[in-house]
Structure 1
Amino acid sequence: MVALTVGCTGQTDTGQKTVLKVLIAGSLTSPMEKVEAKFEADHKNVDVQLEPAGSKECVNKITQLGTEADVLASADYTLIPSMMMPDYADWYILFAKNEMVLTYSDKSKYASIVNENNWYKILNKPDVIWAFSNPNLDPCGYRTPMTIQLAEFAYNDDKILEDLITSKSKITVAEVDGIYTITTPEDLAPDTSKITIRNKSVELVSMVQEGGIDYAWEYISVAVQNNLKYVRLPASINLSDVDYASTYDKVQVKTSDGKTQKATPVVYGITVPKNAPNAALANEFVKYVIDENGQQIFTADGQPPVVPAKANDKTKLPQILQQYVADN
């Protein structure tokens, strides 16, 4: 549902219904719509309004624009401690995982031959157009150059990031003491004959399906939910595996707001902001996300849940959520 913003609280009556404003990462849209349907079926007086956007954009709405949201769910849990705590949030829960994949369709050039060993050579072909989301707004966006930089290590080829990104945009990379820092300025200036950039990754799905672009970087859940074909990458590249955390740790992205995002396994975080207008209902909505039924919804949507869910500090959690979260 498209969210309404009424007054400065984000809270209004639709008939006699209480509006629950839920800011979510775009990649959560499909499973969260199913959670929304279940929650509204059980709470006839509540209108859940999902507002999908890039996760950093969601957080900025709360911390910079003064939006009063009831729930915030990010595709990168680290945005909550780094951008919301302690002023805007007291706790967060890790509830789902994902991995980076390269999506395509039957209409994509070289669709019949692309694979995990040659994808970067395919993307570099002059007749191929590929896309990713804005790294300054969307975690999938900054995870794209992270993944491509990690590919240099995996394929022993130090030209991959240059060939695909730094030579075709204002994005840069510098290596100091084995740490690769990728910088994404506000004006990314992509060579649009080769690269397309949109604010959030889910906007690229229809472009791939319709043949407007050949390939797009997405999470595997988005590929599954939209029946896209995809190249699955080695675990040392795809940001899915905690066993490779020390490898991922060699890469970081400095975004246009001056903040630095380290490459970490893709884990989603959820919280109820400290100024949530409807905190009790919001806590119950979070329960619907992390309980057994919520886990089943996420599993069916190709987005593995964290089972049991984990919290930064279980003692800070509302009582209603305690039983669904692992002990610290």
Structure 2
Amino acid sequence: MHETDGHTRRGFLLTVGATGSVGLAGCTGTWMGAGPEGEAAADDGESPAATILAAGSLQHALETGLAPAVDVPIRVEAHGSATVARLIAEGQRDPDIVTVADTALFEAPLSPPWYATFTSNAVVLAYNPDTEGGRRVADADRWYEPLVDGDVRLGRTDPDRDPLGYRTLFTLELAARHYADAPALREAIPRRRQIYPETALIGGFETGSIDAAFAYRNMAVERGYDYVDLPDRIDLSDPAHADRYSTVSYTLPSGQEIRGSPISYGSTVRHRSDAALSVFAAHTTGDYLADAGFLLREEFPHYEGAVPDAVRRATTTDREASALVEAISALTVRH
């Protein structure tokens, strides 16, 4: 029996505009090296904008979902979150807003005075049904069997650079415990040649370099690729299984030990301005997140630390505006 709910290849249509920051569309641009991890690019000379240094898995959603929904130009640079943290800690980047895919990185090395947890995700096994290896994943009784056999060209990200990389290892270790007949998957499957930058991972399907990839759910949704939904006991999406997730860990090159936990994206404002607050409010409360395949919970955004009053006011106003737009839309549909 296949562990998939019939997700099919589809074009991704993103609908935005009801986030509360309604106005002229924002714009995105290259800021201090958007693109492959570790590469720098020159500033393109556009007018002042709110700059965001963000987790690679958010790049598409920020550029195609958030930017059109705000009236402030947005400049996005995306990397794996561990790289984001390192660039800031080493003084190589100084963005207005920083967003990471694991709030554990806000404990160290970033240690901001406050941050908001605003969305979640799930680890999935995405695959390309147009390749022989992808079809092996689709046809497998157990999704891990063709990966163990080496019959699939697999892609994953570097655990030393971003949370998706070490969360992939967590998922494999949890899966080995979940399935009674599974081998030690964390040792059996990973190979160094499988490593790709987070921002280029799913693009490997288009180039034909990989058949399948451990990815976040939103990454498969936004590219319209099929994926295997993994059990919530292993996909790191469900707070009800937090104790189970915490039994696995990975140590970063810095020596910091990261323990498994429900996936949590966090964001903070480093340089406060009206523009930055407006973008941050839409970034952390916008409907574009659900449209892009991220997971939302009622308690989001959840704040930690000494949150400035201006931030609370901005996000509260944004949520109220979003609720008003939704109410008006509902009335329009009924009448």
Contact 1:136 1:257 in 2 (8 A): no
**DSSP-derived class of the 1:18 partner:** coil
Unaligned runs of 5+ in 2: 1-28, 34-40, 320-335
Contact 1:103 1:223 in 2 (8 A): yes
2:56 corresponds in structure 1 to 26
> Which of 173, 177, 184 lines up with 1:159 in the alignment?
184
2:251 corresponds in structure 1 to 254
Contact 1:209 1:228 in 2 (8 A): no
Amino acid at match of 1:151: A
Amino acid at match of 2:50: L
**DSSP-derived class of the 2:215 partner:** strand
Quote the offset at 1:322 in angstroms: 4.3
1:77 corresponds in structure 2 to 103
1:175 corresponds in structure 2 to none
Amino acid at match of 1:133: T
2:307 corresponds in structure 1 to 316
Query: 1:74–1:117: structure 2 CA closer, same or farther, 3 Å change rule?
Result: farther
- Partner deviation per Cα, 1:30-82 (whole Å, 9 max, x = no partner): 2211212322xx24xxx321001101111111111342110001111221122
Instruction: Compute the TM-score of the two structures, normalised by the length of structure 1.
Output: 0.78
The more displaced of 231-240 and 296-305 is 296-305
Q: Distance in 1 between matches of 2:314 and 2:88?
A: 28
- Partner deviation per Cα, 1:197-231 (whole Å, 9 max, x = no partner): 0232x312121234321111100001000011111
Pairs within 5 Å for 1:92-107 = 92-107=115-130
2:85 corresponds in structure 1 to 59
Pairs within 5 Å for 1:98-117 = 98-112=121-135, 114=137
Unaligned runs of 5+ in 1: 169-189
Query: 1:310–1:97: structure 2 CA closer, same or farther, 3 Å change rule?
Result: same
Contact 2:99 2:265 in 1 (8 A): yes
Contact 1:76 1:269 in 2 (8 A): yes
- Partner deviation per Cα, 1:271-297 (whole Å, 9 max, x = no partner): 012xx3x54422221111133xx1x11
Q: Distance in 1 between matches of 2:301 and 2:68?
A: 22
2:19 corresponds in structure 1 to none
Aligned: 1:264 with 2:289: no
Quote the offset at 1:304 in angstroms: 2.1
Contact 1:13 1:19 in 2 (8 A): no
Pairs within 5 Å for 1:151-230 = 151-156=175-180, 157-165=182-190, 168=191, 190=192, 192=193, 196-200=194-198, 202-230=199-227
Contact 1:147 1:237 in 2 (8 A): yes
> Which of 113, 123, 143 lines up with 2:147 in the alignment?
123
Aligned: 1:236 with 2:266: no
User: Percentage identity across aligned positions?
Assistant: 25
Say what the alpha-carbon RMSD is for the aligned residues.
Answer: 2.5
Query: 1:128–1:111: structure 2 CA closer, same or farther, 3 Å change rule?
Result: closer
Quote the offset at 1:141 in angstroms: 0.7
2:159 corresponds in structure 1 to 135
Q: Distance in 2 between matches of 1:37 and 1:323?
A: 19
2:295 corresponds in structure 1 to 304
Number of residues of Structure 1 aligned to a counterpart in Structure 2? 278
> Which of 144, 151, 156 lines up with 2:168 in the alignment?
144
Quote the offset at 1:299 in angstroms: 1.1
Amino acid at match of 1:24: A
Amino acid at match of 1:209: E
Q: Distance in 1 between matches of 2:137 and 2:87?
A: 39
2:25 corresponds in structure 1 to none
Quote the offset at 1:125 in angstroms: 2.0
Which of the pair is proportionally richer in strand? Answer: 1
The more displaced of 139-148 and 107-116 is 107-116
Q: Distance in 1 between matches of 2:173 and 2:44?
A: 49
**DSSP-derived class of the 2:132 partner:** coil
Amino acid at match of 1:197: I
Quote the offset at 1:19 in angstroms: 3.0
Query: 1:218–1:229: structure 2 CA closer, same or farther, 3 Å change rule?
Result: same
